[in-house]
Structure 1
Amino acid sequence: MFACAGCGAELSVPVARVALPAHAFRSGGERYLPPVLPPGAYAVDPEPHGPPLRRWAEVGAEAAAARGVYAPVPHLSFGAPGRILLAPGDTRGTVLVPERCDGCCGAAGGLGPNLACARCGREVGTRIDDCYRWQAVWLEPDAVRELPVAGPERPPGDGWDVPGLPPVEPLGWWSDHWSAAVGTALAHLLAASAGGPLVLPDGLVTVVFGRVPAAVLPSPLAAGAPARTVALVGPGLDPGQEPGSRPGSGAGPGPAPDLALVPRHPWTGEAWRPSGGAVPVPLDAEVWAYLAAPEAASTTRPPEGVERDDPLPLRPHRPFQPDRWLLLDRLARLPAVREPWLRAVYDRLAADVPGFLP
């Protein structure tokens, strides 16, 4: 659990660490959103996000690069790296700082820490629960300390076996989780493409990943442009694995793709390491698991005379849109964006996002 670094008061229930979800920084979608993490979990952001913020023109490219940002962004965070993310319901012993609660329907977190230790008054973190924002508490790393306690046990296994997250919400619109996860992964996919055309597998992978590369990269049919193949690789889907090397695995030796969409470990956030020399492109594990399911890849109707008694998958009324803000934010943090071809792609994508360019 976490405690106040000043007086030692307990500030959370016992929690277990999980990977930082891609949608932790997404806004939009439904008006009132749930907590970004499930109960009993915490995550750590290794990069600085949140206030204090400074405009790009005030910072300059050299100072921004020293903070891990290599292309222009609207604002640069000068907050401390290592902030700790919790679900608001898992916090204890804190009080709100009213003059820092700046949101429309709740707290937006734009004025700095708005949570204080109830015992000593030390500012310890920021609560976010405004409309169109995922509910979250961010504890400041220098204001709290960890207390090792007996807490929630991890489920059995190595953590890779996670259920797939459907891409469509029950009311029929694309999942915010998917928009954030695909947007973040697209930044890595574009960087790994080296500016050449990509050949994506048929089915849902092309539906959600295909539009952006098709708009900014050469066509696979372009003469003289060597295409790079993309495939899902991970537990049970690694061409270099021996068949049956994992429970339920049907994978075996076979041709390896050039680029591999791989899952991030649900607990550690580490990307699966593909065999065969493929370049890994990390993707949230729940989204990867759904894409890797056989039914996600099927684009054909059942054979004649075969009927199904389960409902058809939901079909949104508009094409899938990855989160462009998260795509650009992640791309700006990849050193490869300094290469002229990728910087040109970045500028083209940023020009289509209102308010993004500084």
Structure 2
Amino acid sequence: MDVFACAGCRAELTAPVSRVALPAHTHHGAWEELHPPLMQPGTYAVDPRPTGPPWRLWQDVGAEAAARQGVYAPVYSVSFGARNRIVVAPGDSRSTALVPEKCEGYCRGIDGRAGPNLACTGCGRAVATRIDDCGSWQTVWLEPDAVLRLPSGLPDGPRPGWADLERAEHRVPPVELDGSWSRRWEAAVGVALAHLVAATDDHPVALPAGPVAELLGHAVARLLPSGPDPRSVGLAGPGVPEPRPRPDVLLVPRHPGTGEPWRPPGSGAAVVPLDSGVWAYLAHPGETSPLPATGVLPEGVLRDDYPLPSRPWHLLEPHHGAFRDTLVGLPAIRGPRLRRYHDGAYRP
């Protein structure tokens, strides 16, 4: 396990933490809602992309400079913030204090618009940004140039791996306890569909029957064209029998530790990465047949009144920002077919 310390005075700024994959929903929450912490206690992740202020208008930046920042199609503004910022749960931060003049927010908290708003209590150096405003997951972002990663002296716990995807607790249900669609699902579907648009070059797709079609069909129909000669899509990953015949595109999980997409051995098939918890629910949804009755009917007799899973009154919609931000970050968007798709749907 690691701890992050101030680069100026070496005061420890975090509890011991272990690295995991950056969540797909990191920058995509639900507007006007307060969210829980993004990261699980004792974990951290790194965002390789530029994030946060300063922001510059696309029209002032130009396509070439924007591409160097990882943005390949017109958007309103482009981040020129630091790369490789480190995110931890607020409860894992240590020895920092808010900088009052940098605590602006939209309405219910701090959104980090003014840059680092946490200072090291040891030396006063600006080291991190706390974000907890509505529509944002609660986070503390450590500035890569202001901190040092040091060994904690504690042994690492079990590293997240592919085997975790088969554990029931790794699955993320699509519906929250209050009966609304999961915010994590909405963002994960938006990210995945952007990759699907790129993988199919904006061609129609045919989803496999079952949970994939049931939960993603509406979103796919809204964002991709319909018509003849669709590209087939299948679910693939560790512990899942490979579909036959092999589909044109495979929906695969991201590794929970590294974030890298799973790839079938010896195959060059196009893959669309999906949040590992969302993928795990689609691949291993749990009990879907009538429950064995006990105490009333003989053992082995199945009930015929198994309740259907609860669903919100409206169909699952992908997070619009997650879809667009992912799409403009894919170099494939510069191809003529996808660029026409983007320019027909959006204006910077």
What TM-score do the two structures reach when normalised by structure 1? 0.86
Q: Give 1:38 deviation, angstroms.
A: 0.7
Residue 221 of structure 2 aligns with which residue? 214
Deviation at 1:159, TM superposition (A): 4.3
2:273 corresponds to 1:277: no
Q: Cα offset for 1:310?
A: 6.9
**Structure 2 matches for 1:77-96, cutoff 5 A?**
77-96=79-98
1:268 is the counterpart of 2:258 = yes
2:116 aligned partner: 113
- Deviation, 1:179, is 0.5
Aligned to 2:297: none
- Deviation of 1:29 (Å): 5.4
User: Which residue of the partner structure matches residue 43 of structure 2?
Assistant: 41
Separation in 1, partners of 2:307, 2:11: 51
Query: Pick from 188, 194, 198: which aligns with 1:187?
Result: 194
The aligned residue for residue 76 of structure 1 is 78
Report how far residue 57 of structure 1 moved: 1.0
Q: Residue 232 of structure 1 aligns with which residue?
A: 235
Q: Which amino acid aligns with 1:107?
A: I
**Map of 2:333 onto structure 1:** 337
Counterpart residue type for residue 35 of structure 1: P
Q: Find the aligned partners of 2:219 and 2:173 in 1 and give their Cα distance.
A: 21
**Residues of 1 paired with 2:147 and 2:98: CA distance?**
16
Shift, 1:111, TM fit = 0.9
- 2:343 alignment counterpart: 347
Which residue, out of 234, 242, 258, partners 2:248?
258
One-letter amino acid of the counterpart of residue 84, structure 1: I
8 Å CA contact retained: 1:238, 1:274 = no
The equivalent residue for 1:166 is 173
In the superposition, relative to structure 1, how do residues 320 and 139 fare at CA in structure 2: closer, same or farther (>3 Å)? same
Aligned residues: 331
Counterparts in 2 of 1:30 and 1:235: CA distance versus 1, 3 Å = farther
Check the 8 A contact 1:160/1:265 in 2, yes or no: no
Alignment-derived partner of residue 354 in structure 1: none
TM-score, structure 2 normalization: 0.89
Post-superposition offset of 1:63 = 1.1
1:313 paired residue number: 309
Q: How does 1:193-204 map to 2 (within 5 A)?
A: 193-204=200-211
Query: How many Å separate the matches in 2 of 1:294 and 1:124?
Result: 42
Aligned partners of 2:219 and 2:317 also within 8 Å: no
Shift of 1:12: 0.3
- Aligned-pair distance for 1:171? 1.0
Q: Which residue of 2 aligns with 1:130?
A: 133
User: Following the alignment from structure 2 to structure 1, what is the Cα–Cα distance between the partners of residues 149 and 306?
Assistant: 47
Asked if structure 2 preserves the Cα contact closer than 8 Å seen for 1:208 and 1:321, the reply is no
Question: Separation in 2 of the partners of 1:13 and 1:284?
Answer: 26
Superposed displacement of residue 151, structure 1: 3.8
User: How many percent of aligned residue pairs carry the same amino acid?
Assistant: 55
CA distance, structure 2, for counterparts of residue 159 and residue 58 of structure 1: 44
> Measured at CA, do residues 93 and 68 of structure 1 come closer, stay the same or move farther in structure 2, by a change above 3 Å?
same
Q: Which residue of 2 aligns with 1:146?
A: 149
Moved more, 174-183 or 268-277: 268-277
Q: Deviation string for 1:134-182 (max 9, x for gaps)?
A: 1000001001010112346433774432321100001111000001111
Match of 2:26, as an amino acid?
A: A
Secondary structure, counterpart of 1:210 in structure 2: helix
Q: 1:310 to 1:262 in 2, by over 3 A?
A: same
- Equivalent residue letter for 2:201: A
